[in-house]
Amino acid sequence: MQNQELSEVYTYGPNPLLARSYLLFRKDHNGENAPIGDYTVLDEQEDLALAEKKLMNIIMQLNGENDLLELGNQTHSRLLFHCKPKEPDDPKQMIVFFSYTGQGVSKENAILTLEGFEDE
């Protein structure tokens, strides 16, 4: 367990300023958590426990883990995403997530905004 904690560079926590939103953090060279972005749930009908599991999968991938939580049986939909084009002088990357149930058009689900990944 201690090795796992040392390898966990990325983490998250609730955003105190915005409902249905989480802040993402990366440990800096001093071991302090520095904010690197946010994840905001746009679909007001989505259960926050499910939204948090989706975010947990993102954090697990950022930490290099491959054994992600299986969520298909809970969502009954496909999760699609689109990386918005980034302006050369803008340090932020926005990724919009959509859910698609197989009927009609996909629906915006969440927005992930990340900053400071130029060196990776």
Please check whether residue 120 lies inside any domain of the structure: no
Tens digit of each residue's pLDDT (9 = 90 or more) over 50-107: 999 999 999 999 999 988 877 767 777 788 889 999 888 888 999 999 988 888 899 9
What is the count of structural domains for the chain?
1
Rg (the chain; Cα; Å): 15
Instruction: Identify any residues that bridge with 82 across adjacent strands, giving them in sequence order.
Output: 96
Please check whether residue 52 lies inside any domain of the structure: yes
CA-CA distance, 72 to 7, in Å (whole number)? Answer: 27
Domain encompassing residue 78: 2-115
Q: How confident is the model at residue 119 (pLDDT cuts 50, 70, 90)?
A: very low
What is the pLDDT at residue 117? Answer: 65
SS3 per residue for 53-115:
HHHHHHHHHHCCCCCCCCCHHHHCCEEEEEECCCCCCCCEEEEEEEEECCCCCCEEEEEEEEE
Tens digit of each residue's pLDDT (9 = 90 or more) over 7-45: 679 999 999 999 999 999 999 888 899 999 999 999 999
Kindly tell me if the per-residue pLDDT of 118 is higher than 70.
Answer: no
What is the pLDDT at residue 120? Answer: 45
Please check whether residue 40 lies inside any domain of the structure: yes
**Cβ neighbourhood burial of 73 (10 Å; 0-12, 13-18, 19+):** exposed
CA 29-35-41 angle, to 5 degrees, is 145
